[in-house]
Amino acid sequence: MATITQNPDIRFLGRLLGDVIRAYGGDGLFRRIEYIRSASVDRARGLAGGDIDPGLDALTLDEALAFTRGFMLFSLLANLAEDRQGATTEQGSDLSDALERLEKEGIDRAAALDLLNRALIAPVLTAHPTEVRRKSIIDHRNRIAALMRLKDAGREETPDGEIIDEAITRQIALLWQTRPLRRERLFVADEIEIALSYLRDSFLPVLPALYARWERALGHRPASFLKPGNWIGGDRDGNPFVTADTLRLNLATASEAVLAHYLDLTHALGAELSISSELATVTGDVEALAEGGQDPSPARADEPYRRALTGIYARLAATCTKITGKAPARPAAHPADAYATPEELRHDLVTLAHALGGAGKGLLSSGGALGRLIRAVETFGFHLATLDLRQNSDVHERVVAELLKVAGVEADYLALDEEARVALLRRELGHNRPLSSAYCTYSDETASELAIMHAAADAHALYGPACITTHIISKAATVSDMLEVAVMLKEAGLYRAPEEEDGTPHSAIMVVPLFETIGDLERGPEVMTDWFALPEVSAVVCARGHQEVMVGYSDSNKDGGYLTSVWSLHQASRALAEVFAKQNVAMQLFHGRGGAVGRGGGSAFAAILAQPPGTVQGRIRITEQGEVIAAKYGTRESTAANLEIMASATLLSSLEQGEVAPADYARFAEAMSGISHDAFTNFRALVYETEGFRTFFRQFTPIAEIADLKIGSRPASRTKSDRIEDLRAIPWVFSWSQARVMLPGWYGVGQALDTADTGMLKEMVASWPFLRATLANLEMVLAKSDMGIAERYLALVEDQDAGRAIFDRIRDGWQLTHDRLLDITGQSRLLEKSPALDASVRLRLPYIEPLNFLQIELIKRHRAGEDDPRVREGIQLSINAIATALRNSG
């Protein structure tokens, strides 16, 4: 395929793809695809002759499928080429740059180090169903990326002697012949395996190496402040397939992977540290370790490090057998005691490191394989990544009500008001007698929840308490929602009341509210004030020193529209920071955001920097999901770049002075509240108060077809109802983006901006990172949306008059948003001031439009009852291809 781009990689890969299509599909197919492609490119450039319909109409069904695959693969290769140009060029996205930027503001390295020593930065992988590509497709893509890197290095051949260009063509040919759609629904076990591949192949090798680089930049060794987390097998909100078994499966496979890694590294270290006691001084500590190593080999009698490592290996092997139930592939030289904790293992390794560093002017001290192994043990423990638990507050309520009823404590908990609930739950937390009994029968739901609590307690005993640190409550709104979880944890001994009069309670797992509707975000600070006011809570939190609050971007968006969502999140964070400061507890915000802007997506660097002052303070967790995971963590290079961005942005956001003076902030905030209120009213009026909107949405977008895609183990709706309130945010955002409306990213904003003062808005954009980041994301969404294409989806709506009326409102809103945005940002067209993004979007648009047209046609046939399986396949392929081209699906 010839292409319209300046990026030579895209041209190169596009040409190879064209060769592959011609070779396997024949000249005829290639020419038909090429005809549509060039017509579409002409159309995008506004040239004459850009009519793509004749080309599409001429395709047979089989050709349409091939065409869709071709365009999908082109987008995949274009994404790859773009990723190679660097994850970001934002200034300060490198830790050294960030340190320099801080230094200019008078903040020195010691302050940065001090902050990082108290920090926790955690990307948390979730199984949220937005990744449409199969793992096999992503793996081929990554192989091409690796080959391109060899090409960059000036090589013509791979280490195996293959010509690189031929090897790339081979991979593209394999891509062409690999089925892009999954046949089977994904199971939780598949999702666990996919996440594990990123944790094992990207995080595990990359993080220790990154720390070594950061240590050099800082001039000192920082604590291990960046650690990965995940949700898969523990997040059971709306997913009946997540059970105690999946929780165990996740932890067991992760632990096996990390222990195997430690065993390999220890073995390799044994080969490396060949130091002879005849040629070097060896400390008594190392000698003692060597003695414990019981290595009988006379050849190693003078090699204390090797002997010590033989012992460490034996203990690690025993740890592996104890924890995983499986002996390692490479057996230990002799039996030994397992390490009880990762700290014990770390202690032995540090003993070796100190001894190495203490001699020879420290030549052997820093970094190296031993340094990386120590870092790995600190970061990944015996568990690899923390696993969070999550469930909906409604479920907790029912479970606790049943437990109380069966135990004869309270017949109708659900009938109690908040005050009575809190009083009752606190009484239960005041003693250690459990409510449940092995001799009673419970509903499946309660039994499953209890089993999860017990599985979590077992996991703590086996892998250490770092394996599960939080239990998140979706749709949290009250203090009782949080106390209910504490009561459930107590059933498995994970919450303990004080055993003596003056003792303190202990919670081995932190109870974390997720505030995710506009109302819940507004009330969040008050709920946290009441939470801290409870003496037992205050004691637990003070002992821990920090408390997490999770905030949800998607549901707040679905509830109140884009602007109100981001503004509510901003305000809630500020108000929460005040509550926490009063309590003298460190706040840890957990941002539940997705890839698309309607779900909080956009540049992570800008998003972290735009957090209100005082709300980060070194502690931040962020969800990473769906297609974002492959984009950020698909290769070691991109993993390193993205983790570095997270660390730098957190540092800058914690230490830089806010750009806005308090008096200006007060003015801006007042204006923003007015704008947000108007945007909210407009959004709700369309989505929740327009008669027939629900039907319009169901017919206009491919929501039904998306729900049918096999991209995740979780159902698309929380309940069986078709209310928008009950639909999960992901399919809501996903379906609007397929129809190129992207309504969750902008609707309501134009009307609100229209009544606001332009001068003031311009001033706000110039000096307020929050508004800048907000509008930058909105602009990207507008650039990817297309009302001309969207209008064609009207053909799918049965009641044309009603559909037209709703669509016209959407289109008018779009136009207003577009015009106001340009006015405020001083541009004559979208993305005028963001040339890189502009080029990327422009390159893609001509590849999406024909897919949209084809999708509409196939959906029409499908909904009219045509049962040729290729029609359904075509729809799914088109969804896949459009999502790939847009780069953020939902």
Closest to ligand PGA by CB, 394 or 757: 394
Give the closest residue to 712 by CA, choosing from 131, 230, 72: 131
Asked if 599 is part of the footprint of ligand PGA (rule: CB under 6 A), the reply reads yes
* Least gap, CB of 726 to ligand PGA (angstroms): 11
Closest to ligand PGA by CB, 453 or 730: 730
Task: Round to whole Å and give the CA distance between 87 and 71.
Answer: 23
Beta bridge partners of 727: 717
Question: What would you measure as the largest C-alpha separation in the chain, in angstroms?
Answer: 93
**Does 558 qualify as catalytic in the annotation?**
yes
Instruction: Give Cβ neighbours of residue 340 (< 8 Å, ≥ 6 apart).
Output: none
* Least gap, CB of 251 to ligand PGA (angstroms): 21
* Least gap, CB of 219 to ligand PGA (angstroms): 39
Q: Where are the alpha helices (DSSP H) in 273-392?
A: 284-292, 304-324, 342-358, 368-380
Residue 525 contacts residue 579 (beta carbons within 8 Å): yes
* Least gap, CB of 538 to ligand PGA (angstroms): 29
Strands 586-592 and 506-507: unpaired
DSSP letter (8 states) at residue 388: -
Tokens found for residue 15:
């040409």
Closest to ligand PGA by CB, 127 or 308: 127
Stretch that binds ligand PGA, among 221-229, 450-458, 548-556, 734-742 (CB under 6 A): 548-556
Asked if 594 is part of the footprint of ligand PGA (rule: CB under 6 A), the reply reads yes
Stretch that binds ligand PGA, among 68-76, 300-308, 355-363, 726-734 (CB under 6 A): 726-734
* Of positions 554, 556, 676, 699, contacts ligand PGA by CB under 6 A: 554
DSSP letter (8 states) at residue 386: E
* Least gap, CB of 884 to ligand PGA (angstroms): 19
Closest to ligand PGA by CB, 237 or 481: 237
* Least gap, CB of 391 to ligand PGA (angstroms): 11
Residue 92 contacts residue 648 (beta carbons within 8 Å): yes
Closest to ligand PGA by CB, 554 or 571: 554
Tokens found for residue 257:
């992977």
Instruction: Give Cβ neighbours of residue 411 (< 8 Å, ≥ 6 apart).
Output: 405
Closest to ligand PGA by CB, 516 or 857: 516
Asked if 233 is part of the footprint of ligand PGA (rule: CB under 6 A), the reply reads no
Asked if 421 is part of the footprint of ligand PGA (rule: CB under 6 A), the reply reads no
Stretch that binds ligand PGA, among 83-91, 108-116, 724-732, 775-783 (CB under 6 A): 724-732
* Least gap, CB of 475 to ligand PGA (angstroms): 9
* Least gap, CB of 777 to ligand PGA (angstroms): 15
Give the closest residue to 192 by CA, choosing from 242, 140, 239: 242
Asked if 236 is part of the footprint of ligand PGA (rule: CB under 6 A), the reply reads no
Closest to ligand PGA by CB, 128 or 784: 128
Q: Where are the alpha helices (DSSP H) in 561-602?
A: 562-583
Beta bridge partners of 624: 125
Residue 228 contacts residue 438 (beta carbons within 8 Å): no
Stretch that binds ligand PGA, among 414-422, 501-509, 547-555, 841-849 (CB under 6 A): 547-555
DSSP secondary structure string, 406-428? HTTS-S-GGGS-HHHHHHHHHHH
Closest to ligand PGA by CB, 628 or 831: 628
E strand or H helix at 484: helix 479-490
* Of positions 355, 473, 687, 730, contacts ligand PGA by CB under 6 A: 730
Stretch that binds ligand PGA, among 110-118, 199-207, 651-659, 723-731 (CB under 6 A): 723-731
Tell me the one-letter amino acid at 433.
Answer: R
Residue 80 contacts residue 145 (beta carbons within 8 Å): yes
Asked if 750 is part of the footprint of ligand PGA (rule: CB under 6 A), the reply reads no
Instruction: Give Cβ neighbours of residue 864 (< 8 Å, ≥ 6 apart).
Output: none
Closest to ligand PGA by CB, 228 or 744: 744
Closest to ligand PGA by CB, 228 or 600: 600
Asked if 731 is part of the footprint of ligand PGA (rule: CB under 6 A), the reply reads no
Residue 303 contacts residue 277 (beta carbons within 8 Å): yes
* Of positions 43, 128, 772, 784, contacts ligand PGA by CB under 6 A: 128
Give the closest residue to 180 by CA, choosing from 119, 127, 132: 132
* Least gap, CB of 390 to ligand PGA (angstroms): 8
Tokens found for residue 99:
């340190």
b/e 110-147 (16+ beta carbons within 10 angstroms → b) = eebbebbeebbbbbbbbbbbbbbbbeebbebbbbbbeb
* Least gap, CB of 734 to ligand PGA (angstroms): 9
Closest to ligand PGA by CB, 494 or 687: 687
Asked if 784 is part of the footprint of ligand PGA (rule: CB under 6 A), the reply reads no
Residue 625 contacts residue 594 (beta carbons within 8 Å): yes
* Least gap, CB of 888 to ligand PGA (angstroms): 11
Subset of residues 490 to 529 that bind ligand PGA, contact rule: CB under 6 A: none
Stretch that binds ligand PGA, among 132-140, 592-600, 610-618, 809-817 (CB under 6 A): 592-600
Catalytic residue among 128, 140, 383, 862: 128
* Of positions 41, 102, 563, 729, contacts ligand PGA by CB under 6 A: 729
Residue 749 contacts residue 562 (beta carbons within 8 Å): yes
E strand or H helix at 123: strand 120-126
Asked if 728 is part of the footprint of ligand PGA (rule: CB under 6 A), the reply reads yes
Using DSSP's 3-state secondary structure scheme, residue 440 falls into coil
Catalytic residue among 475, 558, 784, 862: 558
Task: Round to whole Å and give the CA distance between 774 and 567.
Answer: 9
Stretch that binds ligand PGA, among 100-108, 360-368, 727-735, 817-825 (CB under 6 A): 727-735
In the block, tokens 């699906």 appear at 889
* Of positions 342, 552, 750, 813, contacts ligand PGA by CB under 6 A: 552
Q: Which residue number has the CB closest to ligand PGA?
A: 554
Size of the site for ligand PGA (CB under 6 A): 12
Asked if 742 is part of the footprint of ligand PGA (rule: CB under 6 A), the reply reads no
Asked if 560 is part of the footprint of ligand PGA (rule: CB under 6 A), the reply reads no
Subset of residues 317 to 336 that bind ligand PGA, contact rule: CB under 6 A: none
* Least gap, CB of 630 to ligand PGA (angstroms): 16
- Please state the separation of Cα 669 from the chain's center in Å: 29
Using DSSP's 3-state secondary structure scheme, residue 800 falls into helix
Asked if 475 is part of the footprint of ligand PGA (rule: CB under 6 A), the reply reads no
A 10 A CB-CB count for 517 gives 19
Task: Give all strands of the β-sheet with 546-552 in edge-to-edge order.
Answer: 386-387, 229-230, 120-126, 619-625, 586-592, 546-552, 510-515, 470-474, 389-392
Closest to ligand PGA by CB, 119 or 730: 730
Catalytic residues: 128, 558
Q: Which residues bind ligand PGA (CB under 6 A)?
A: 128, 237, 474, 552, 554-555, 592, 594, 599, 728-730
